[in-house]
Structure 1
Amino acid sequence: MDIHFEKLTIPATDGFPLAATLYSPEGDADRPVVLINQATAVKRTLYDRFARFLAERGMHVLTYDYRGIGGSRVGPLRALTTDMKDWGTRDLAGAVDWLVKRFPRSPLLAVGHSSGGQLLGMTDRIQHLSALLLVGAQSGYWRHWAGPRRYQLAFLWYAAIPIAVRLLGYFPSKRLGLGEDLPGGVAREWARWCRNPAYISDKRGVPLRPYFEDFSGPLLAYSFSDDRSATRAAVDALTAFYRRAQKERRHLSPADLKVDVIDHFGWLREGFRSPLWEDMAAWLQEQAAAVRPGATAMPLGASHPPTQPSHLS
């Protein structure tokens, strides 16, 4: 199937320009639409091959960069005032708004990888999503890990990030081999969440679950036995946030997929087309087929709460 690629700039709900790419199969514009919500500190281009694969299977796919990351980085990070909640309440919300306008008759589904699965519950636009496919989407609380890894993460959350941000105004992830550099506010909030058993929380430590329970559709959550960034316990903890969802869990080992390694990002390699990507695509198509076209396309602006709810502070 021929695939059309379109590089875009889409607005977050506060107008911040976000770099994005739309992958579209030739033919019917009313095909299912998939939004890919990426992990922390990685560019949208990491998901290019997976997005192309889904488009080859007959779905429109949008990838985008959060503000301060990849193509959405504008100016020095130390000058960018933002936090991790903004990635959900403003950036993700803007991406959903854009897709609903572009494809008003199509079912809209989301793939959330790592923190991308966390942020889906931070936006009121979750009401537009028919199904969620989560991959290694976890609570980052450090005690969900065991052994030396637990204390490596504790050092990151309690010392490395707070000190680096205080000195530099941002977190230099690249120097540490941890992906793209992070805006200071994003890194500080991420570290604060990871020190809290409730994970996503306000500055007082009170749990924040603004829109997780608004989603009652199908949710499939994957975890991998060799994923050092998302243990089975951490994925179970995050999946539990979606209390009303119709949940299905799949925990796979490398042996299950006849490979040596999966880990947190390995599943995005071409070698996972069969059976993993095929299974993911089939599940998304099945959920889209169960939705009456147009059922998820609420009129924009209809009964949306404020973009930055007062309780998200």
Structure 2
Amino acid sequence: MNSIRIIHKFLPKIYCVRKSSSTITIPALVDSYPIEATFFEATLPSSVSSPICVVISGATGSRRQFYHPFAKYLNEQHHFHVVTYDYRGTHERKSTPWTLLEHWAWRDCAGVLSYFSQKYPQVVHVGHSLGGNMHALLPAAINEQVSRILLISSANSYLMYHKWNLAFLHTCLALLVLREPLLWAYGYYPMRSFFRTGVDLPSDIIRQWARWSLHRECFVDDNGQLMTAGFNSVKCPVLALNFVDDEFYTQQAFDIFTKQFHRSTHVQTWHLPKGGHFHFFKENQSLELWKESVRFLKTGDTTPPTLSK
């Protein structure tokens, strides 16, 4: 009887997700690698003349399903088309030659943004952590296709800009001490298999991220020179949300990253008291802030929120 009650409780929710979304594959740029994605297609009211598609790019090691509550909210309550996707190599648990810059940025993220820019007149990008960092790395032609950018907890990840706490010690241990022994033992970076969080990652992805964490400029080429083409090509409005209680980064880390979009028509930061690094995407904690951020996604309005305490 208990199992029947559980089925009756969750079946409507499962049906709702399937009804409002579909699993699709999107060809990456350059090699057309099939990117796994979930697409929430909106039913547009007659008052909407210019449909908006929101692309959500996730943090390192996060599954696209983590972003589905936010995606469903945008889709069902505000009539956005929304897509979430997984970078290549996640979940595969095998050795690959894929690197963050060459494959996740220039092919996967670029391919998704390009695909929907060809389908809809406005594409708005929501980048969480690494997903927001993508704009420092993307080809200029892709950055120029985006109408607005919402950054969530995206920072310069140089280790000295981290908060010096237990999370910092864990990051140093995982990135710098255990990385190579784990890669040797598993053939991939076992974020899920060993650390029991997120998803497993390709080996060269984590190697490049570790190398960047040791550079003050963070996003550098093989010669240690800052890659500026991505920053310089962002000309649309940018709204950056970050939080005082972020587990990993200081306000300095967020501000240094955001200020590099110096050619944007408008850059605004909401530095808010509560939200951590991941909690923005949890509906029961951030619904009020979701309502505030929709103004920017629709029109580019960056007026600071008036949230109840």
TM tier, smaller: 0.7 to 0.9
Pick aligned residue for 1:43 from 56, 59, 63: 63
Whichever residue aligns with residue 165 of structure 2, its letter is P
| Structure 1 stretch displaced more, 236-245 or 181-190 | 236-245
Give the counterpart letter for 1:102 in structure 2: K
C-alpha contact 2:135 2:234 (8 A) present in aligned 1: no
Per the alignment, residue 110 of structure 1 pairs with 125
Q: Does 1:271 align with 2:284?
A: yes
Number of matched pairs: 274
Cα displacement (A) at 1:152: 3.7
Residue type matched to 1:240 in 2?
Answer: K
1:252 aligns with 2:272: yes
- What's 1:258 paired with? none
Segments of 5+ residues of structure 2 without an aligned counterpart are: 1-16, 302-309
Which residue of structure 1 lines up, in the alignment, with residue 256 of structure 2? 237
Residue 148 of structure 1 corresponds to 165
User: For 1:185-240, what per-residue CA distance to the aligned partner results, in whole angstroms no more than 9, with x for missing partners?
Assistant: 10100100111111111223222223111112211101111111333221112112
In 2, are the aligned partners of 1:5 and 1:23 still within 8 Å (CA)? yes
Q: Deviations over 1:120-147 (max 9, x none)?
A: 2211201100111000001111101243
State how 1:1-313 maps to structure 2 within 5 Å. 4-13=20-29, 14-27=31-44, 30-56=50-76, 57-70=78-91, 73=92, 76-78=93-95, 80-85=96-101, 86-103=103-120, 106-124=121-139, 125-149=142-166, 150-174=168-192, 175-245=194-264, 246-254=266-274, 262-287=275-300
Q: Deviations over 1:290-311 (max 9, x none)?
A: xxxxxxxxxxxxxxxxxxxxxx
Any conservation in 2 of the 1:224–1:231 contact (CA below 8 Å)? no
Higher-Rg structure is 2
In 2: Cα distance, 1:281 partner to 1:168 partner:
42
The residue matched to 1:171 in structure 2 has which SS?
coil
Measured in 1, the distance between the counterparts of 2:128 and 2:198 equals 15
Letter in 2 for 1:287: G
4+ aligned runs moved over 4 Å, structure 1 = none
Q: What corresponds to 1:295 in structure 2?
A: none
Identity of paired residues, percent?
A: 27
Matching residue's letter, 1:286: T
8 A contact 1:137–1:230 mirrored in 2: no
* Segment drifting more, 200-209 vs 25-34: 25-34
Deviates more, 1:273-282 or 1:17-26: 273-282
Task: Work out whether residues 157 and 195 of structure 1, in 8 Å CA contact, stay in contact via their aligned partners in 2.
Answer: no
3-state SS of paired residue (1:280): helix
Structure 1 residues 177 and 205: CA distance shift in structure 2, 3 A: farther
TM-aligned CA distance change 1:68 to 1:7, over 3 Å: same
Distance 1:201 1:37 in 2: 21
Q: Is the 8 A contact 1:34 1:111 kept in 2?
A: yes
Matched position secondary structure for 1:176? coil
In structure 2, the CA distance between the partners of 1:210 and 1:162, relative to structure 1 (3 Å rule), is farther
Contact 1:135 1:223 in 2 (8 A): yes
Distance 1:248 1:152 in 2: 31
Task: Name the CA distance, whole Å, in 2 between partners of 1:4 and 1:218.
Answer: 29
C-alpha contact 1:170 1:187 (8 A) present in aligned 2: no
Question: Quick check: 1:136–1:221 contact (8 Å CA) kept in 2?
Answer: yes
Pick closer, same or farther for the CA change 1:236–1:166 going to 2, 3 Å: farther
- What amino acid is the match of 2:198? G
Greater RCO structure (CA 8 Å; 6+ sep): 1
- Amino acid in structure 2 at the alignment position of 1:227: D
The answer to whether the 8 Å contact 1:49/1:268 transfers is: yes
Shift of 1:241: 2.4
Q: Which amino acid aligns with 1:110?
A: H
Query: Which moved further from structure 2: 160-169 or 17-26?
Result: 160-169
Mean Cα deviation higher: 202-211 or 171-180? 202-211
> Any gaps of 5 or more consecutive residues in structure 1?
255-261, 289-313
TM-score of the aligned structures, taking structure 1 as reference length = 0.82
